[in-house]
Amino acid sequence: MSNISAQLVKELRERSGAGMMECKKALVENNGDIEAAMEWLRKSGLAKADKKAGRVAAEGRIVAAQAAGKAVLVEVNCETDFVTKNPDFVKFSDAVADVALKSGAADVNALKAAAYPAGGTIEEAAKALVATIGENIQVRRLARVENDGVIGSYVHGGRIGVLVALKGGSEELAKGVAMHVAAMSPQYVKAEDVPAEFLAKEKEIALAAMSDKEKNKPADILEKIVSGKVNKIVSEVTLVGQPYVLDTNVTVGDALKKEGADVAAVVRLAVGEGIEKVEEDFAAEVMKQAGLA
C-alpha cells in the first residue's frame, strides 16, 4: 500500500516522535494501520537501540526533581552534546527525573523498570527514543536524598547536579551550599571524614618538602609545622573548611554555624564522569570516507 496520506503520516509522527520517512515506511509496511505502525516503530526502535547500545554515551543531562522531604538527581546519557539540546531528549530526561522522584525507585535498575508516562517502561522508552534521535541513549545514574529538614538542589547547565540536605538552616542556605559544591567539588564534608591514609600521605609529603633547616627543629615544633600544613590541605578538600563561594569572607562551616545548621547529606553528579571517552580524529574520518586516506 503506497497511497498513504500526509495527514496519516503527520498523526503517526506526532504520536511516535519518529521521523517523517520512518513514519511513512511504517504505515506502508502495515497497510495504513496506525496502531500496527506504532508497534512496528517501537520494535524498529528496540532493534536500533540494541545495535547502538555498545557505543559510548558520555554526553547528556543531569536533571533534578524535588518534593517535600525528598529529591533526586538522574543522569541520562547520549553520544553528542548536540543531542542534549534535542527537545525529545530533554522531554525524556525530564520525565525520567519525575518518575524517579514519584516512583521511589532505589536504584537505576528499578528506575528503568518503572512505568513511563507515555506507556511501557523507562528502559523501553529510552530504546524507542533511539529510533527518533539515532544515538545510544542510556539512563545511567540515580541519586536520591530524603530528609526531615531542608533540601537544596542545584543544576548547573545541565552538566553538574547537586543535592544538599541540612539539619536546621534554611532552604536558601541549602541551595547556596549546593551551588558551592557544584563549583568547588569538595572531596569530603568534614575533617573527620578524611581517611587516615590521606592524612598520612599528606604528612609524608609535607615532611619531604621541608628544608634541612626546618627538619632540624625540635620535634614538637616540627610536629606543629607539619600539622599546620596538613590542616591547610584538609580545609581545602573539605566542604566546611572551604571559603564559601557566595561569601568568601567566611567558610562554609561558618555559614552553617551562623544558622545553627549541619550537613546531613551531599550528592554531586557530573555528566560523563568515569566514562572513558573515545577521541576521534574527524578530519581523518572525513578523508577516509572520501577515499582520500
**Domain end point (choices 146, 178, 212):** 146
Strand 70-78 relative to strand 138-146: parallel, antiparallel, unpaired?
A: antiparallel
Residue 291 is assigned to a structural domain of this protein: no
Q: Which of 18-22, 222-226, 238-242, 274-278: highest mean pLDDT?
A: 238-242
Judge whether residue 185 has pLDDT over 50.
yes
The cell numbers describing 201, all together, are 600521605
Same domain, 61 and 80: yes
Task: Identify the burial level of 74 via C-beta atoms within 10 angstroms of its C-beta, where 0-12 means exposed, 13-18 middle and 19 or more buried.
Answer: buried
Same domain, 232 and 250: yes
Same domain, 28 and 64: no
Residue 67 is assigned to a structural domain of this protein: yes
Supply the mean pLDDT for the chain: 86
Residues 75-108 pLDDT 10s? 999 988 888 999 999 999 999 999 999 999 999 9
Same domain, 17 and 45: yes
Judge whether residue 190 has pLDDT over 60.
yes
Residue 234 is assigned to a structural domain of this protein: yes
Number of domains observed in the structure of the chain = 3
Residue 136 is assigned to a structural domain of this protein: yes
Q: How far apart are the first and last CA of the chain?
A: 44
How far apart, in whole angstroms, are the C-alpha atoms of residue 226 and residue 228? 5
Same domain, 226 and 247: yes
We report the CATH number of the domain holding residue 115 as 3.30.479.20
Same domain, 224 and 256: yes
The cell numbers describing 274, all together, are 568515569
Same domain, 59 and 142: yes
Residues 44-53 pLDDT 10s? 664 454 444 5
The whole-number average pLDDT for the span 61-69 is 96
Same domain, 102 and 142: yes
Q: What burial letters (b/e) apply to 196-206, b meaning 16+ CB within 10 Å?
A: eebbeebbeeb
Same domain, 60 and 89: yes
Same domain, 104 and 60: yes
Residue 275 is assigned to a structural domain of this protein: no
Residue 132 is assigned to a structural domain of this protein: yes
Residue holding cell 512505568? 115
Domain with 40 in it: 6-52
What is the pLDDT, as a whole number, of residue 275? 75
Least confident stretch, 54-58, 207-211, 278-282: 278-282
Residue 98 is assigned to a structural domain of this protein: yes
